[in-house]
Structures are given as C-alpha cells and as structure tokens.
C-alpha cells in the first residue's frame, strides 16, 4: 500500500491495530474495514497470517510486522508505519499475552506479560506520537481483572502493583497475577497518555468483558487448554459480564469511528459504555511514575 497523501486525508482514515489476526483484534479490524472511510493496518507478529487476514478484508487493509516482545522490533515497526502512512488516525493497542508462570522473558529480558502488554505498547505509542493526525484516537485494551475484586474480576487473582522496574523482572510467580497487573498498567497508561496528549489525541481504555474463546490462554499447558475449550462456550453464554468476541470487536471499533466520541478522552469503557475503573487507576502520581519508568526501561 502506498503512503497516505494529503489529498486522501479526510476521506480515508487509517487505524493501526495490534494483535489483529485472532480474537478481539480480528473482529475489531473486520468492523473497522467495513466502516466507510476507514482502512486498517494489521500490526502483527505473524506477517503471513496477517496477510491472509488482510486478503479477506480487501483493499482497505495493510500489514506491518510487529514483535512487541522486542524493543528493536517495535522501533522497526514504528519507523515502517510512519514511513508508509503520512498520518495515523487511530492506534488500537490490543495485543496481549497471558502465561501460566511469570518466568518467561522478552528479547530484552523483561517479564513477558508486562513487556508485551505494557512496555511494547508504551514504546509504540510514544514513537508514533508525531505521526498522529490531529484528533487521533488511541485505545488501550485492558480487562476487568484490573479491579481485583470478586464482584468485578470474579476468582481471577488481583493485581500486585510494584514500581515498573520491579514488574519488568521475571519472578516466577503467578502468570495470572502478572496479567491482571499488566491490565492495571494499561489503564494507568491510558489516563496518563490522555493528560500528556491533551489537545492532540483522545486516549481511552477499553474492557471487552470476559471472552474465554479469544485464545489468550494459548500458552497454558495442553491439559488446561482442553478443559478451557470445553467450558468456554458455556461461560460466554451464561456468565454475567461475558461477551462474544464479535460483539466486543464492534464495540472496540466504535471507540475509533463514532463521531459522537470526538473529544472524549481519559475514560474507561466497559463494552460500549463509560464506567468507573478501579480506584487505583486514578492515582496520578502512580501513573506518572509508571510513565517515567517505562520511558527509562524502553530507552
């Protein structure tokens, strides 16, 4: 796809979606590509799979390789995105991992969950800040697990917050705790980015609801995956707060495309509605510290 020229701006807008080949991201890019005036860039680790998805989407889709577990990979992808597209109208920070134990690392030695779910997206956003069109929208996909309460998160372990330099160290602890903590970081990041990019971009967090069939737990042991596959349909159908991926994907796409949401920033959307996020997410000092330490960690 050729770079966006200024004559095309205003009739065709460009949204970059990470983790766009499966689950929530796949349904979001389908909804975006079907929206008149929008094209999508699939920023994905598996470029071949991205090309297959893009072929199904048609002319309004492009693919860029992005490995969020590598800072150099993020820098390469950001440079390619800025070179191909004169202006970007939306960043959808959707990709994520969940592992059974927090003992795996990124290429740079960071704990894998925190490195991919937060640090990779943090670096991508900061590198692309100058490429954002006026009024661009950024959506960070979080999760209800960030609440850490039985009513909001169910039996999922609550976040265990520590300074970013400590969260970035693999400790061999619970992968679920690492995941819920990374989802708390996603909301803190969104709120701090909304403050820092005020007047330039709208930044919001999105909670898609519980979606067992998205494949997020694909790194779990085979026996656990077999059990998970059996119970997932019942959970999605009957559990309160559960959502079908296609429905959640449309709600995510709406945060990018709905004209009524222009200027709405620093909010947390659960499905299609703004909600209060956890009390911990409104700690401005914590959010500012996370931003500063993330900048130091990512160079």
How would you write 25-88 as a 3-class SS string? HHHHHHHHHCCCCEEEEEEECCHHHHHHHHHHHCCCEEEEECCCCCHHHHHHHHHHHHHHCCCE
Three-class secondary structure of residue 254 per DSSP:
helix
CA distances in angstroms from 252 to 30, 194, 274, listed in the order given = 11, 18, 12
Phi, psi for residue 207 in degrees, rounded to 5: -110, 110
CATH fold of 13-298, please?
Answer: Rossmann fold (3.40.50)
Tens of pLDDT, residues 15-30: 999 999 999 999 999 9
Backbone φ/ψ region at 169: left (φ over 0), alpha (ψ -120 to 50), beta: beta
pLDDT of residue 243: 62
Q: Is 30 within 8 Å of 249 (Cβ atoms)?
A: yes
Give the lowest-confidence range in 107-121, 173-187, 220-234, 251-265.
220-234
Specify the higher pLDDT residue, 210 or 238.
210
Tens of pLDDT, residues 64-101: 999 999 999 999 999 999 999 989 999 999 999 999 99
CA distances in angstroms from 299 to 104, 122, 123, 259, listed in the order given = 21, 11, 9, 36
- pLDDT band per the 50, 70, 90 thresholds, residue 3: very low
- pLDDT band per the 50, 70, 90 thresholds, residue 1: very low
* Residue of 80, 81, 69 whose CA lies nearest to 40: 81
The mean predicted confidence, pLDDT, of the chain is: 89
Give the domain ranges of the chain.
Answer: 13-298
DSSP code, position 37:
T
Q: Which residues pair with 91 in a beta bridge?
A: 16, 138
Q: Which residues have a Cβ under 8 Å from the Cβ of 123 and sit 6 or more positions away?
A: 71, 74, 75, 78, 294, 298
Whole-angstrom Cα distance, residue 61 to residue 55? 8
- pLDDT band per the 50, 70, 90 thresholds, residue 227: very low
Whole-angstrom Cα distance, residue 184 to residue 160? 9
- pLDDT band per the 50, 70, 90 thresholds, residue 238: very low
Residues known to be catalytic: 179
pLDDT of residue 150: 83
């Amino acid at each position: 796809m050729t770079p966006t020229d200024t004559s095309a701006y205003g009739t065709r807008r460009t949204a970059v979606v990470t983790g766009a080949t499966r689950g929530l991201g796949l349904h979001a890019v389908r909804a975006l590509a079907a929206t008149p005036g929008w094209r999508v860039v699939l920023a994905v680790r598996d470029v071949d799979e991205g090309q297959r998805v893009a072929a199904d989407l048609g002319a309004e889709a492009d693919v860029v390789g992005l490995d969020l577990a590598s800072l150099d990979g993020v820098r390469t992808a950001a440079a390619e995105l800025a070179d191909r597209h004169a202006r970007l109208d939306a960043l959808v920070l959707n990709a994520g991992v969940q592992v059974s134990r927090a003992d795996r690392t990124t290429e740079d030695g960071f704990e894998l969950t925190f490195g991919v779910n937060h640090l990779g997206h943090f670096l991508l956003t900061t590198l692309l800040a100058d490429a954002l069109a006026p009024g661009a929208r950024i959506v960070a996909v979080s999760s209800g697990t960030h609440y850490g309460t039985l009513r909001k998160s169910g039996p999922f372990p609550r976040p265990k917050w520590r300074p970013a330099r400590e969260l970035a160290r693999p400790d061999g602890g619970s992968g679920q705790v690492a995941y819920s903590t990374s989802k708390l970081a996603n909301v803190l990041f969104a709120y701090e980015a909304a403050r820092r990019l005020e007047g330039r971009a709208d930044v919001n967090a999105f909670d898609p609801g519980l979606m067992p069939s998205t494949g997020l737990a694909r790194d779990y042991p085979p026996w656990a995956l077999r059990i998970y596959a059996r119970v997932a349909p019942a959970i999605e159908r009957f559990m309160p707060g559960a959502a079908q991926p296609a429905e959640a994907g449309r709600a995510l796409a709406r945060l990018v495309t709905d004209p009524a949401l222009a200027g709405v920033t620093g909010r947390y959307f659960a499905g299609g509605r703004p909600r209060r996020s956890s009390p911990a997410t409104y700690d401005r000092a914590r959010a500012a510290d996370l931003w500063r330490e993330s900048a130091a960690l990512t160079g």
